Amino acid sequence: MSDDGPITTLHLTGMSAVADVRHRVAAICRDHGVNPDELPLVAYELAVNAIRHGRKPAQVTVLTRGNKLVVRVTDARPCALPGPAATDTESETGRGLAIARELSEFSWRISGNHKHAEAAVPLPPGIRQPAPLAL
């Protein structure tokens, strides 16, 4: 299914830019009637992974696709994602992909020189087109 349209794109220049991802995605979720806790957490975790393990340039794009709100995190390291990490439940690292798989419809692909990780959640009935970003 093709994308209906991007809502926003955030360029990740480093870890300092990642902090803004969660807040911006939460605002978009609220504007679209989506739980403002889960998808922003997934977006944050995927953005952290892109900065820590990927290559620049990296970016987060929020878009609609049919009846889904989608976060796409892209980086310039076209390699396979690792499998779920076996980490201690008290660990502060190694759980990002597991969180993405648990809280969203998670997928990834390689296209040219880029890796794209996507997390999608359902939009409420009646919401299909991007709403203006209220920040």
Assess whether pLDDT exceeds 50 at residue 98: yes
Instruction: Summarize the confidence of residues 97-105 as an average pLDDT.
Output: 92
CA–CA separation, 125 and 110 (whole Å): 31
> Using alpha carbons only, what angle is made at residue 50 by residues 66 and 123, rounded to the nearest 5 degrees?
20
CA–CA separation, 46 and 33 (whole Å): 22
pLDDT band at 26 (very low <50, low <70, confident <90, very high): very high
Q: Is the preceding peptide bond at 57 cis, omega within 30 degrees of 0?
A: yes
Instruction: Summarize the confidence of residues 3-19 as an average pLDDT.
Output: 87
pLDDT on residue 90? 53
Instruction: Summarize the confidence of residues 117-121 as an average pLDDT.
Output: 96
Q: How many CA atoms lie within 13 A of 135 on its CB side?
A: 13
Q: Domain-by-domain residue ranges, the chain?
A: 5-122
pLDDT more than 90, % of the chain: 61
SS (H, E, C) 8-34: EEEEECCHHHHHHHHHHHHHHHHHCCC
For the entire predicted model, the pTM comes to: 0.82
Which CATH architecture does the domain made up of 5-122 adopt? 2-Layer Sandwich (3.30)
Instruction: Summarize the confidence of residues 18-38 as an average pLDDT.
Output: 94
pLDDT on residue 135? 45
Determine the length of the chain.
135
Assess whether pLDDT exceeds 60 at residue 16: yes
Please indicate whether residue 61 or residue 95 has the higher confidence score (pLDDT): 61
pLDDT on residue 134? 47
Assess whether pLDDT exceeds 90 at residue 6: no
Q: Which amino acid is at 74?
A: T
